[in-house]
A and B are shown apart, each in its own frame.
Chain A
């Protein structure tokens, strides 16, 4: 797994690449939480275009970030989600609380 984080228009953008399972959840969580802390931004946008696999461990990290950010009045957005990942999001109920966008630009536009 590779994660790139950067700031754009006051939003933390997280681009994830590879497989998101329990082996990488600690690193996934730490990178995001560090970036949130150092930047102090309210909103987060996950670009999941290059995610080849995700299970409930990976989803758990996204849910955990949602709880944290939502409690602080921020928003969690997701862009470029792959079909097999959408299915998992749907089944987990995450689609009810997190909005999916076609592109990073569309997601940023919604804020």
Chain B
């Protein structure tokens, strides 16, 4: 299906950019008749994806995050790409409470999965990770 609108932004992997990423994605989503709740869910999902890149993908190092936003007739697609450490075992990382740090909940992927309609994670160690998330546009659910 043809893309109706698209924006790509590049972010430095800094914690202050997590808020910028989620506000940008919510602004992109605002062209659709989404509910406030849908927009909040998108913000959480994007926040989790970008936080993962800053914390795990690049860690102590700095790197680039590519955030692609695509609008289709029936869905919104967000693709978050990093060129960092990668994830050795994606199915394991996607499980709840995977995080080894007691201060972290290990719920990032769980939130992304719960709040979006599709979640695809592809990763290669030392090459980076791509997270693709889709929110369906359901006309009847808009109001």
CA distance A87 to B45 in the complex (A): 13
In the complex the two chains form, is A23's CB within 8 Å of B19's CB?
A: yes
Q: Inside 8 A of A57's CB, which chain B residues have their CB? A: 51, 104
Interface size on B, residues (CB 8 A): 26
CA distance A91 to B37 in the complex (A): 15
Prevailing SS type, chain B contact patch: helix
Asked if A22 is at the interface (CB within 8 A of a chain B CB), the reply is yes
Nearest chain A residue, comparing its CB with the CB of B114: A91
Interface size on A, residues (CB 8 A): 21
Asked if A56 is at the interface (CB within 8 A of a chain B CB), the reply is yes
Q: With A55-B44, A55-B111, A88-B44 known to touch, is A19 a contact of B103 (CB < 8 Å)?
A: no
Interface flags for B76-105 (1: CB within 8 Å of A; 0: not) read: 000000000000000000000000011111
B contacts, CB < 8 Å to A: 15-16, 18-19, 22, 36-37, 40, 43-44, 47-48, 51, 54-55, 101-108, 110-111, 114
A contacts, CB < 8 Å to B: 19, 21-23, 25, 29, 53, 55-57, 59-61, 63-64, 67, 84, 87-88, 91-92
